[in-house]
Structure 1
Amino acid sequence: MSDTPPTKPKRPPQTRTGLTDTGVKKAADKSARTRAREFALQALYQHLVGRNQAESIDAFTRDLVGFHKADSAHYDALLHGCISEAAALDESFTPLLDRKMVEISPVEHAVLWIGAYEFKHCLDVPYRVVINECIELAKAFGGTDGHKYVNGVLHKLAPNFRAAEVAADKKT
């Protein structure tokens, strides 16, 4: 018998720069806006599931670890904008759904709110970036294939808010 303790097997080396071994972006590589979207998603989830008021959710979220690295202005716009425009945002993508709204998970619902809100109000963010960021949110926080559903809905929704941008993109 040996006196040496057993060693843990080594993790395989990372093959893609900036990603953890699970394929998620490393925290250090995330932009302030990406972080803002993540915190906004968590806050919107609290609103959808717990029916908590925006002010109490906001106060709680700002105390979370890492919030200081987020773009707080973008977070504010997403949280308060999505909640105040919830009905209009829902109306914008409900016709594109293949199921009833109550069958959409709260995570995917919140991600769709973020996508629709950014299409409508954040014209400095290209529509493809909005879609990609929302897909990443759904991958990180949603169900197994939720990102595919979000992708499909947002691709159909983009021309409703960004017709000229989508048309120009298709030409190139």
Structure 2
Amino acid sequence: MVEKNQQSPKSEFNPAARRKARHYGMQALYQWQMTKDSLSDIELQFLSDYDFSRVDVEYFHDIIHHVPASLNELEEAFIPHLDRDIKDLDPIELALLRLGSYELIKRIDIPYKVVINEAVALAKKFGATDGHKYINGVLDKLAQDVRTVEIKAG
């Protein structure tokens, strides 16, 4: 297979490429939730089916392998901020809360406002009509718990 559609691992940080990695990462997490297919198979499918030339491939890989590996920790962090049982969440909301929680807890290199804004944008694109408001509220409360110093610093 020709590697023309994969980003060079030595490329500089590119916010647009990171945004696209989140976009595909959320879709891959959703697919994994719904099918329980192998993460490696899902990753290969995405890499072959979509143009990844302008995607942060390394971050996409990070998302789809580290979010499922940290599920218990991530869910324990956001469940207290839910107003319903986790089983009653829309699958898109669940994928976004897992992804957003991962970024808030494990990726402190990403500002909390960026994490929340990106999750809200994906919720607006893929979620239910007002799902983005729910995502915003839950991740904002979680950020208050896990990013206290950053929030206080302004």
Q: Give the TM-score category using the shorter length.
A: 0.7 to 0.9
C-alpha contact (below 8 Å) 1:108/1:138 kept by paired residues: yes
Tell me how far apart the structure 2 counterparts of residues 153 and 104 of structure 1 sit (CA, whole Å): 12
Tell me how far apart the structure 2 counterparts of residues 70 and 63 of structure 1 sit (CA, whole Å): 13
> Deviation per CA, 1:42-74, whole angstroms, max 9, x where unpaired?
100011111112111111111132222110111
Q: CA RMSD in A?
A: 1.1
Structure 1 residue 153 corresponds to structure 2 residue 154 = no
Q: Which moved more, 1:66-75 or 1:133-142?
A: 66-75
Comparing both structures, which one devotes a greater share of its residues to helix? 2
Residue 32 (structure 1) aligns with: 17
Equivalent residue for 1:44, pick from 29, 35, 43:
29
Equivalent residue for 2:85, pick from 100, 118, 141:
100
Structure 1 residue 91 corresponds to structure 2 residue 76 = yes
- 1:132-143 correspondence to structure 2 within 5 Å: 132-143=117-128
Residue 4 (structure 1) aligns with: none
> What is the CA-CA distance between 1:88 and the residue it aligns to?
1.2
Tell me how far apart the structure 1 counterparts of residues 82 and 142 of structure 2 sit (CA, whole Å): 10
- 1:1-172 correspondence to structure 2 within 5 Å: 31-169=16-154
Tell me how far apart the structure 2 counterparts of residues 66 and 140 of structure 1 sit (CA, whole Å): 19
Q: Which moved more, 1:145-154 or 1:69-78?
A: 69-78
Which 4+ stretches in 1 moved above 4 angstroms?
A: none
AA of the residue aligned to 2:59:
H
Tell me how far apart the structure 2 counterparts of residues 64 and 122 of structure 1 sit (CA, whole Å): 28
- State the identity %: 40
Q: TM-score, normalised on structure 2?
A: 0.87
C-alpha contact (below 8 Å) 1:54/1:80 kept by paired residues: yes
> Deviation per CA, 1:7-58, whole angstroms, max 9, x where unpaired?
xxxxxxxxxxxxxxxxxxxxxxx70000000010010001111111211111
> Deviation per CA, 1:77-128, whole angstroms, max 9, x where unpaired?
1110101111211111011100000110111111111111111222221100
Which residues of structure 2 form unaligned runs of 5+?
1-14
C-alpha contact (below 8 Å) 1:135/1:147 kept by paired residues: yes
C-alpha contact (below 8 Å) 1:93/1:157 kept by paired residues: yes
C-alpha contact (below 8 Å) 1:39/1:67 kept by paired residues: no
AA of the residue aligned to 1:133:
E
Larger C-alpha radius of gyration, 1 or 2? 1
> What is the CA-CA distance between 1:158 and the residue it aligns to?
0.3
Which residues of structure 1 form unaligned runs of 5+?
1-29
